[in-house]
């Protein structure tokens, strides 16, 4: 096994989040880079929410080519970006950032990932009902995919009912075709 030694041409990538010790992303990406002969390295980029803006500035200045975004930054990163894709806009969350000459663009690949999984099952979801548990960045992506798949009714269940209500309201304002409802986990336990 050879040891990878970064040089001035090495592209920098990483996973941006708060608690990352459980993640296998660096291992997956670095093995892929090695196997494909790509001169790049993928690092853990742990930061707290209150330090996010300064941290992103540092990533830009260090020349990071891009990074994935995970909990709790999928929504809070948006104000620090120069632009974002239509899917990221629809989801209201970003899980991938590309740095092109100092311009940061956010993307959401969770929307496409969920949509493809549903389509590959062959299950027809058009005008069906669905329940989403959670109201964070991944839930936003799943709901955005459900809207594109033309589901009729979407109920959001969350521990903090206010977050579920806010998310339902947000999607209701953008998508008059679907019915959105919400409730807390406690309410659902007795339903």
Catalytically active residues, by annotation: 74
- Tokens describing residue 123: 């299950």
Single out the residue of 114, 115, 187 nearest to residue 156, CA to CA: 187
Cα–Cα distance, 91 to 138 (Å, whole number)? 9
Cα–Cα distance, 146 to 177 (Å, whole number)? 12
Q: How far apart, in Å, do the first and last CA atoms of the chain sit? A: 56
Cα–Cα distance, 158 to 178 (Å, whole number)? 19
Dmax (CA) of the chain: 60
Report residue 140: phi and psi, to 5°.
-60, -40
């Amino acid at each position: 096994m050879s040891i990878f030694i970064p040089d001035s041409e090495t592209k920098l990538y990483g996973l941006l989040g708060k608690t990352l010790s459980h993640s296998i992303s660096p291992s997956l990406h670095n093995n892929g880079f090695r196997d494909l002969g790509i001169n790049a390295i993928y690092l853990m980029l742990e930061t707290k929410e209150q330090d996010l803006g300064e941290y992103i500035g540092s990533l830009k200045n260090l020349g990071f080519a891009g990074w994935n975004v995970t909990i709790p930054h999928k929504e809070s990163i948006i104000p620090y970006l120069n632009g974002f894709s239509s899917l990221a806009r629809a989801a209201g969350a970003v899980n991938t950032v590309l740095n092109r000459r100092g311009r940061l663009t956010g993307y959401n690949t969770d929307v496409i990932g969920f949509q493809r999984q549903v389509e590959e099952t062959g299950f027809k979801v058009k005008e069906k009902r669905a329940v989403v548990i959670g109201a964070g960045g991944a839930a936003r992506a799943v709901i955005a995919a459900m809207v594109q798949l033309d589901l009729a009714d979407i109920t959001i269940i969350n521990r903090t009912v206010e977050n579920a209500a806010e998310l339902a309201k947000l999607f209701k304002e953008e998508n008059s075709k679907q019915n959105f409802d919400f409730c807390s986990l406690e309410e659902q336990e007795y339903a």
